[in-house]
Structure 1
Amino acid sequence: MPVSRALSHSLLLAALLLSLNGWASTELDEINQLAEQGKTAQALQRLNGYLGKQPTDAKALFLKGVLLAESDKQEEAIKVFTELTEKYPQLPAPYNNLAVLYAYQGNYEKAKAALESAIRTHPSYATAHENLGDIYARMASESYSRALQLDTNNSRAKSKLALIKDLLPPPGDTTTKQAVKEAPKPTLAISPAPVKAEPKPQPPAPTKPVETKPAPEPTPTPTPASAKPAAPVVATAPATVPEQKKADPTQAIRNAVESWAKAWSNQNVDQYLASYAKDFKTPNGESRSNWEATRKARISKPARIEVKLSNLRVTLDNEHSARAVFQQSYQADHLSQRTGKQLVLVQQQGKWLIQQELTNR
């Protein structure tokens, strides 16, 4: 991805939250649902009440920082993420989000220091490495501009600055601000460190068929001259050849799931919605029309979306119903998360379509 897109997208609040194994909170789930519905003020009010009882809850603090940033309350968000780095210095995501906010303010030195802290905590944190590259590019742009102010005939600085400008949006570009405000809300399915994508299972190597010698042709029995010639024998398959099995639908189901993810990544709303069955069970019991309107808005808003699936496993319930279980890696503007997901699919009009979508917390 070009550096300009990386700066205005991946540098805009990477929401890699902190998943604590075996932890769950009904109240936090409800607060997160309010945020998903766009009720940010109400979500913040309830979140403050929750933090009054659980002041050191890492997930709640992180969610508060994200919502404050999306509300353009940058200084308050910086304060929250700074508190997180002090209480949980082993977590890389708060450092990354601090860098995002500092970069938005034009404080690239602080952004660089925060990203270096994130990388020291987790050297395999790819998002922080990418963002650090964007910061270096921005700082290089400022240095080349300064060199040209001091020497307007410096052709080398001029060509280098032109190259950097091709890669980066100008300082204060409104795409940065819009991406922070309009980015989708984070979920509570979060991890303390980047999770390496599991390799896709490889299909077993084809088994070489066992070579068998053809059975010897039977010796023809002489026919008496007076006998009537026998009718010609119609050639048939040997009795030992098994009946042909029906085609395994597993691959068709895998193709349907991967097409759904591809349509999501390409932000092809029509193709994405066409992946769902007529009797699809909406997550919160809302009407199909309201659910589709919400999905259209969330898929269309981000400047980019990337959905990757790994460890996809398909189980047939019966001839017309199946389940697909996989790990989903989702990235959109500032939001980056990895969750377990299960799709219930049914066969309708010759196609495998999604009837229910479940997230494994």
Structure 2
Amino acid sequence: MSRHDASDLAQRLGRQAEAVCRHYLSSGRREGRYWLVGDARNTPGRSMYVRLKDSPKGPAGKWTDAATGEHGDLLDVIRESCGLIDFKDVAEEARAFLSMPPPEPEPRQHHRESPAPHGSPVAARRLFGMSQPIIGSLVQAYLRERGITDLRGTGNLRFHPRCYYRPDERSPTEVWPAMIAAVTDLDGKITGAHRTWLDPRRRDKAPIDTPRRAMGDLLGNAVRFGIGGEVMAAGEGIETVLSLRQVLPDMPMLAALSAGHLAACQFPDTLRRLYIVRDNDLAGDGARDGLIERANAAGIEAIVISPELGDFNEDLRTLGIDALRTEARLQLAPQDVARFMMLAST
């Protein structure tokens, strides 16, 4: 696509700036001539503002993030909020939103692009790109049923209203809503996706044989919440990690998706202290031991955090958030309590 075509798309989006923001930045809200949100990845907050109407200060659709100094147009919003990598995919998404016909094929193009191999990283990126923000969706309702209400830093979770599910090669394909989680490497590149199919009537996992499945390159990678630094936590399940984030919302965490992958996940060079979020089972014990050994060999302090029941989501749902907060406080290093602990509201 030429620079002229990109500029034309940006201008068309700008003419529908508020509709674009409502769709891709649903965590924000309109205030006067601007749309306010946390960032271009649709994080709740107010530091990023998008101009909704042309003004002497600039055209509609231009945005600035006061917290980081970043700025751009609505094509950048689509790229960031959808987790897209290639500009071709950004343009395709923008055209779909604008209900524009696909561009004419270039003269030398004699064949259609081949579909992404089933289960590949490319297929995972496309699935994530086709999904929607979770605010106001069935995913938000599902997480709320599990006691997870603070969704800060969850831009890598999305909602797909009609995600294909096939029990096996001999069975017909079914369609269910799903929570889609982006699996990323240390550089933030999407290498895979994790699907949790949902039942809209019960706000629970769908009544199918395997309601959770992952695709793409998973080994060493994970579903990441927050940017890893000197301190972070690592666990198996998405809901387990998000449960702990209800009382430690600013601590970077990752969900490795299984005990085997937890033992093999990669960590940033900046890491100095790792909290291992353990599940109370034999597989969790094995992952804990392997991770402690790897961390110690790399000069990283490893601290195991154990739930009272089967996992931290079970603790959150059964014992309540105050009990979970107390559990975490007793197992964290004192300096991390002061730095990361969300105090109970009074």
Q: Identify the structure with the greater strand proportion.
A: 2
Q: Identify the structure with the greater helix proportion.
A: 1
Larger gyration radius, structure 1 or structure 2: 1
Q: TM-score by structure 1 length?
A: 0.25
Q: TM-score by structure 2 length?
A: 0.26
